[in-house]
Amino acid sequence: MSALSNNNWSRRSLFRAAAGMTAAGTLAACGSNTGRGSGSGDTLVQYFHAYGEAGTEQAIKRYAKAYKDANVTTQWITGSNFENKLFPALLTKNAPDVFEFHPQLQLVTSGQVADLSDIINPVKDDFNPADIASHTVDGKIYGVRMIDDPQFFYYRPSLFEKAKVEVPQTLEELIEAVNKLTTDKVKGAFLGNDITPVQNPLIWSAGADTLNAKNEIAYHTDAVADGLGQLRKLFTSGNLLLDAPADWWDPSAFTQGLTAIQWCGMWAMPVIQKALGDDVGIFPFPKVGSAGKFSVTNGGWSMFVNAKGDNVDAAKEYVKWLWIDQKKYQEDWALSYGFHIPPRTSIAQSATKLKSGLPAEGVKLFSEYGHFDNIGWTQAMIAAINDVIANSVRKGGSPDAALSAADKKVNAELKKLFG
């Protein structure tokens, strides 16, 4: 410890210099704002989650740059951080003016999103009616759909042939197929690391629904409980791919040959076709139980205007310009990167890329078996069903008890929303 008393002078002056620099540094930092520049005219900020397909970020920024009436900045926010950033930001004056999200009733009831009826109504007939319905509350339309994203199973026909398996029509057949397809190297199927991507298809395929038309619980049926029990069997069979490094939205597990079947979105189709050529097919979630029917999730993203922002009118103008008037950009956005289905009928009909082959099959599944967003089915309810999957399929608890636990949470939420 004797070193301590040595050299006091130089150390002291060093420390002082350091302290002085700190003060100066803090002051300097106070002057510099690393954020947005202040230009003339309206300045708008838009939030996007980071799409995985190459070129998407550049595309969104290119469209924004082409808009002359306002200076639009884009925040491109990585997947799982999107909500962490969007929601705190919406509480402040640094909130985005325009943001993408899914239609959720509580955004409307809390007055967070602006009524866009006046810009959508003139072209209402050109939109897929289901996309209009899923954004409508009490006759007012609150968001513009940009893309529809059907989600279904991809499979490798060559592996099916080798294992002598047909495309499954029922959940039992799917489980049997998965068992036959599993080898030392390849697992039978990948339903996502936490199995939640198929929670809604399971409900729909069992002939039930999330909520009924009166906004009451419709998922709690015997068929759904049976389906959960069957999924549990599949989960414990050892033939499912679990804990894959990339989750279900990324086709890596499928293209790398880790699995013979994967639940994924249509957006991944170009990448999958590039990797596997013709050796790929798709099928909907198979029937569950005797009253079952095929189902496909029609997900997607929509643009909303922050009703609490400073520039609501300018933001609406921008949304109208890009997502209603600029059909070229809308087509580019839906088809040039990943594959998405344009919600505008006129664009969808002229899209040659979706006219043949696998993409055409995807469109067919989308229109025949697809289920669209329900604006009354909110995040809290989705989370309640996530818990059902965790408790009954992954943990092995009773499906009926798990569904009853979810009923309690969903009813509490329904009561808050609808009284």
Partner 1 sequence: MSTTTEIDLANPAPAKPAKARSRRGLRANATLNFWLFTGPFLIGLIVFVFVPMGWSIYLSFFEARFTVSPSSFIGFDNYKAILDNPDFTGSLVTFTVFAAFIVPTTWALSLGLALLVHRIRFMKAFFRSVFFLPTAVSYVAAALIWKMSIFNGVRFGMANTILSWFGVENVAWLANPDPPWYWLVIVTLRLWLQAGFYMILFLAALQNIPAELYEAAAIDGAKPGWQTFRYITLPQLRATSTAVILLLLIAAYQAFDEFWNLLSKATWGQPPLVELYKTALGENQDYGQGSAGAVILTLLILVITLFQGRIMGFGRGEESK
Partner 2 sequence: MTTTAPDLGKTPANAKKKRGGGVIGNTGLYLATGVAALLFLIPFYLIVRNALMTDPEITGENWKWFPTDIQWGNITEPFKDETVDFGRALWNSWVVAILHTSGILLICSLAGYGLARIPYKHANKVFYGVLVTLMIPTAVTFVPSFVLVSSLGWVDTYRGLIIPGLFSGFTCFLFRQYFLGFPKELEEAARVDGLSYWGAYWRVVVPNSLNFFAAMATITFISGWNSFLWPLVIGQDPSAWTIQVALSAYMTNQTVNYHLIFMSTAISILPLVLVFLFLQRWLVQGIAQTGIKG
The binding site for partner 2 (CB under 8 A) comprises 1, 4-5, 8, 11-12, 15-16, 18-19, 21-22, 25-26, 29-30, 32-36, 50-54, 57-58, 73, 75-76, 78-81, 84-85, 88-89, 91-94, 185, 245-246, 249-250, 252, 256, 271
**Residue 344 to residues 21, 100, 115: CA-CA distances in angstroms?**
59, 17, 20
In the complex, least distance from residue 68 CB atom to partner 1, rounded to whole angstroms: 33
Nearest distance from residue 80's CB to partner 1, in Å?
9
Considering CB distances under 5 to 8 angstroms, the limit depending on partner class, which of partner 1, partner 2, none binds residue 121?
Answer: none
Among partner 2, partner 1, none, residue 382 binds (CB under 5-8 Å by kind): partner 1
Give the integer Cα–Cα distance in Å for 156 and 259. Answer: 9
Exposure letters 39-53 (e unless 16+ CB within 10 A, then b): eeebbbbbbbbebbb
Task: Please list, residue by residue across 293-313, b when 16 or more beta carbons sit within 10 angstroms of its beta carbon and e when fewer do.
Answer: ebbbbbbbbbbbbbbebebee
At residue 6, the 3 state secondary structure works out as coil
410 touches, from partner 2, partner 1, none (C-beta below 5 to 8 Å by class): none
Q: Does residue 390 bind partner 1 (CB under 8 A)?
A: yes
The residue among 373, 374, 205 whose CA lies nearest residue 300 is 373
Q: Is 394 in the site for partner 1 (CB under 8 A)?
A: yes
Closer residue to partner 1 in complex, CB, 90/414: 90
Q: Where do runs of H (alpha helix) occur along 212-369?
A: 222-236, 252-255, 269-276, 312-320, 327-335, 345-350, 357-369
169 binds, among partner 2, partner 1, none (CB under 5 to 8 A by kind): none
| Smallest gap from residue 243 Cβ to partner 1 (A) | 3
- Choose one: 210-218, 262-270, 282-290, 380-388; the region binding partner 1 (CB under 8 A): 380-388
- Choose the one of partner 2, partner 1, none that binds residue 404, judging by a C-beta under 5 to 8 angstroms depending on kind: none
Least gap, CB of 88 to partner 1 (angstroms): 7
Q: Which two tokens stand for residue 90?
A: 């919406």
CA–CA dist 177, 16 (Å, integer) = 73
State the nearest-atom distance from the C-beta of 97 to partner 2, in Å.
13
Kindly provide the residue ranges of all beta strands, DSSP E only, lying in 79-211, ordered along the sequence: 98-101, 136-137, 140-141, 144-155, 187-190
Pick between residue 50 and residue 291 the one whose CB is nearest to partner 1: 50
Q: What is the dihedral of CA 81, 87, 89, 93, to 10 degrees?
A: 170
Nearer to partner 2, 22 or 236 (CB): 22
Amino acid at 367: S
Choose between 185 and 415: whose C-beta lies nearer to partner 2: 185
What residues make contact with partner 1 under the rule CB under 8 A? 1, 4, 83-84, 87-88, 90-91, 106-107, 110, 112, 185, 193-196, 235, 238, 241-245, 253, 258, 379-380, 382-383, 386-387, 389-391, 394-396, 405, 416
